[in-house]
Amino acid sequence: MAIFPFLWTLWGSFKVQGDFFSKADWANAVYGIRTLAETGSTFTLNGYSNAWIEHEFWLSAINTSIVVFFVVIISLTIGTLGGYALARSGYRYALWLLMLALVFRAMPHITLVSGYLLPFFQWNIWGHLPTTIIVLVAINQPFTLWMLHSFFQTIPKELDESAKVDGCTQFQAFRHVIIPVMWPGVIYC
């Protein structure tokens, strides 16, 4: 029964507005009387062509795809390096940095974004794709860092140590040994 609103909305997307929002009879949305009169069929794709072509929804879909791609790549790159460094660090500051990241994650996003507003407006870069990417990376980075840190703690330190014994530097051990092991965690995150 919970799927009914979604199916009803999908059904209504193939009708003209006069049928789906008819005040005279709700059955017009089922039978498509006005849709038949206006288009010659009880179903129409005019709503989709109107949204995608006339209102250029395709451009918004492309922009969203670009933003998502770069936010994921940048967040995972920074989060992977930071999470690995904090998981392998023996210092106390690692825990405090993670707690600080958790505090930033718990804060409402508008409090984080408000710090960016004035400079972005002054530089006239608010509303551009790179600006959106920067803000979304900043918002999502604490969560990514926390999740990947937890995942790196489950990978045995002996893998790093054995790679170092074989002559790898810390970064080579990370790149050649840890990255192939960690991909399931990165995909999950």
**pLDDT (tens digit, 9 = 90+) per residue, 27-47?**
777 778 788 888 888 888 888
Q: What CA–CA distance (Å, rounded) separates 172 from 65?
A: 32
pLDDT of 188 strictly over 70: no
More confident residue, 65 or 146: 65
Q: What is the pTM of this model?
A: 0.72
Contact between 152 and 183 (Cβ < 8 Å)? no
pLDDT at 22: 75
Of 134, 154, 138, 145, the C-alpha closest to 82 is 145
pLDDT of 189 strictly over 60: no
pLDDT at 74: 95
pLDDT of 97 strictly over 70: yes
CATH architecture group of domain 57-188 = Orthogonal Bundle (1.10)
Q: What CA–CA distance (Å, rounded) separates 107 from 115?
A: 13
Q: What CA–CA distance (Å, rounded) separates 39 from 51?
A: 17
CATH code 1.10.3720.10 region(s) in the chain:
57-188
Amino acid at 71: V
pLDDT of 73 strictly over 90: yes
pLDDT at 71: 96
